[in-house]
Amino acid sequence: MARQKKRQEAAWKSRKEEQHPHGKIKSLKQLSSEYDEKHTTI
């Protein structure tokens, strides 16, 4: 029973560490260049 609990905790930790819900944070320059690309074609 102790082994199963250890396995469950290890699996939970690995899932928790792999999460990236919002992705990489972009810099202001990246955001402004994306905005310009989308809004320059009228």
Q: What is the DSSP letter of 40?
A: S
- Find, among 15, 42, 25, the residue nearest to 7 by Cα: 15
Q: How much is the pLDDT for 3? A: 92
Q: How much is the pLDDT for 32? A: 86
Per-residue pLDDT for the chain (42 aa), expressed as one digit of tens each? 689 999 999 999 988 887 766 777 778 888 888 888 777 655
Say what the pTM is: 0.41
Q: How much is the pLDDT for 8? A: 93
- Find, among 42, 23, 26, 25, the residue nearest to 34 by Cα: 26
Q: How far is CA 40 from CA 11, 30, 32, in A?
A: 47, 15, 12
